[in-house]
Chain A
């Protein structure tokens, strides 16, 4: 290589190298300024609530990234919160019966009702019991569902399944499954026994519920968790199921399984999911924005069609959007305005809230459930 050759090249001085290096190092900072890193919002919820089908649009619009922590039941949720430092979870989804526990333990913030579109909700959901402490709001209802008789449509007709007595049908021996949680199952047995308030029963009525439940034991083919419930209904191993509703069978039905849920003549139970803001959250404003989004008509329609499990929604405007976007699903779930719909069921008094036992301790119900399982 000659001197001339070297001279022909652009001079690369030490200063030039340093300047280029500095520019290269600064590039991520510049791009970060242009595309700020998304704010992380932690959500404690049942599986599905922070999946892309629900949150992608909100994340894109607000430059947010949800960090979900999924739980498998109210007790599990309370356990996760109590084991975490305050402020760990920005948004908390809870079933109605646990909102009071969350509030009593001081895990959630009081909310301003004016921030949320309650006027778009059906009147029944504008002041939902358990979500308020006097006039103070702690949780905003986002979706709900019914629990009744889940059945295989090849094995049973709608008429056969429209009573809890079908569980005792000799043809179903060994083919009746339980969702393994005492609260919905024993609540249904209490309804069958004619208790108007299935969870607020005296000692004699409780004894009668236990006695009636025990007679069902020989019919039972198994006690299943979330995954086991899905697979045993899907593969036809269980032909009837107690303690569940459309939140399980709707998902299976959408995928072609021959299963359905029905509210029997003795009535059904209602579960409710609602959002709260975690005490000590440093992103309470953003958490509020999320609750506003998911309770808006658009968010409600998304929520009703959630991929993980469908649910009913309390927003009348949400019903309208859902009926326009996906009329088949609106009709399947009974949420078409102006037609016979799920609100008729509630208004006819056939639906009771699932709640914690009032006159007995939770422990007493749970202990009986263990005894029943091992009987």
Chain B
């Protein structure tokens, strides 16, 4: 049934609408327009030319960076979710309410420090003469190349996403109906099987949304690939900086950015559809 638009309803929804228009829709429309502009002698010229789309989509380096970024962000989302789950599970089911509050507080603390600073501090641990290699050296191992690798980038991605994923998973797990778990146990369902057959399906929405957030954060991240991955391999965020850094090619950077936005929208849509699949309300 359609409900008439009331002034009361508008009072609460209008600010959000204006906010979305100002800071999402308008910039997005500008970005679309910009992608059809051209650059001559370092200066942007407004117009309608598909050259940027044709050029970027025709370059193997773009698709290579796209596949790399997609795979790394998906890998980071899966890995972060898998590692965060035992942590969130323990906080939700094994800790007392007081200890749980402390755990949530501890998960929030990383957000007090700049992500860039946290990533830089990893360099102290991972470099060839860093803490980890020095400690390995004590037992006659190494040095191993840890910094400027994909593994280091993944570590950076987890630094970015892990606390948030734990929190999102936790909020989903604490609302799992305990009677379902008790029922499973009463029916002699083992502990591990209960987790996979009862807990995870019950908390599916939160778990998927947590993984989605991790994917979104990592897909657009510039800091970890550059400062822990050494800029190798090229991700889409690095390709954007490369494109703007030389020759003022903002329109081509806009093409990359729009492709990233479209990808994130598709992934978010599919993830949400999967999360709510089979739910009637």
Contact A236 B232 (CB under 8 A): no
Which of chain A's residues 44-77 have a Cβ closer than 8 Å to chain B?
73, 75-76
Measured between beta carbons, the chain A residues less than 8 angstroms from B189 are none
Are B65 and A101 neighbours in the complex by a CB distance under 8 Å? no
**Are A370 and B247 interface neighbours, CB within 8 A?**
no
Contact status of A370 and B242, CB under 8 A, knowing A82-B43, A228-B227? yes
Residue of A nearest to B129 (CB): A236
Query: Which listed segment binds A: B76-84, B94-102, B120-128, B267-275?
Result: B120-128
Nearest chain B CB to A180 CB, angstrom units: 6
Within 8 A of A (CB), among B126-142: 127-130
Smallest beta-carbon distance B231→chain A, Å: 4
The answer on a CB contact under 8 Å between A76 and B41 is no
Residues in A351-372 with C-beta less than 8 Å from chain B: 362-363, 365-367, 369-371
In the complex, the answer to whether A373 meets B43 with C-beta atoms within 8 Å is no
CA separation between A363 and B249, bound complex, in Å? 9
- B24-69 contacts to A, CB under 8 A, are 41-44, 59-61, 64-65
Determine whether the beta carbon of A105 is less than 8 Å from that of B245.
no
Total residues of chain A contacting the partner, CB 8 A: 38
Most central of B65, B145, B229, B248 by chain A CB within 10 Å: B248
* A106 → B minimal CB distance (Å): 11
Whether the Cβ atoms of A374 and B234 lie closer than 8 Å is yes
> Are B230 and A223 neighbours in the complex by a CB distance under 8 Å?
yes
- Say yes or no for A12: interface residue by CB 8 A criterion: no
What CA separation (Å) do A78 and B246 show in the bound complex?
Answer: 11
Contact A78 B42, CB 8 Å, known A366-B242, A373-B232 = yes
Q: Do A237 and B232 touch (CB < 8 A)? A: no
A236 touches B44 (CB 8 A): no
Q: Tell me the complex Cα distance, A73–B242, Å.
A: 12
Dominant SS among interface residues on chain A: helix
A367 to B242, CA, bound (A): 9
| Chain A residue at smallest Cβ distance from B65 | A374
CA distance A363 to B61 in the complex (A): 15
A82→B44 contact, CB < 8 A: yes
A101 touches B231 (CB 8 A): no
Contact of B61 among A75, A223, A365, A371 (CB under 8 A): A371
Closest to B239 in A: A370
Q: Is the CB of A76 within 8 A of B245?
A: yes
B220 within 8 A of A: no
- The CA of A367 and the CA of B56, in the complex, are separated in Å by 10
B166 at the interface (CB under 8 A from A): no
Per-residue 0/1 for B140-170: is the Cβ within 8 Å of any A Cβ (1 yes, 0 no)? 0000010110000000000000000000000
Q: Which residues of B contact A224 (CB under 8 A)?
A: 226, 230-231
Contact (A228, B230) CB under 8 Å given A236-B128, A237-B127, A366-B247: yes
A370-B234 in contact given A231-B123, A237-B147 (Cβ < 8 Å): yes
Contacts A222-B148, A370-B239, A374-B61 supplied; 16 other A-B pairs, CB < 8 Å: A75-B42, A82-B42, A82-B44, A105-B42, A181-B246, A221-B148, A223-B230, A225-B231, A235-B129, A235-B130, A236-B127, A237-B127, A362-B246, A362-B247, A371-B61, A374-B233
- 11 A–B contacts from the bound complex (CB under 8 Å): A75-B247, A79-B244, A79-B250, A82-B42, A177-B230, A181-B246, A222-B230, A222-B231, A235-B123, A235-B130, A371-B60
Q: Which residues of B contact A (CB under 8 A)?
A: 41-44, 59-61, 64-65, 120, 123-124, 127-130, 145, 147-148, 226-227, 229-234, 239, 242-250
A interface residue numbers (CB < 8 A to B) = 73, 75-76, 78-79, 82, 101, 104-105, 174, 177, 180-183, 220-225, 227-228, 231-232, 235-237, 362-363, 365-367, 369-371, 373-374
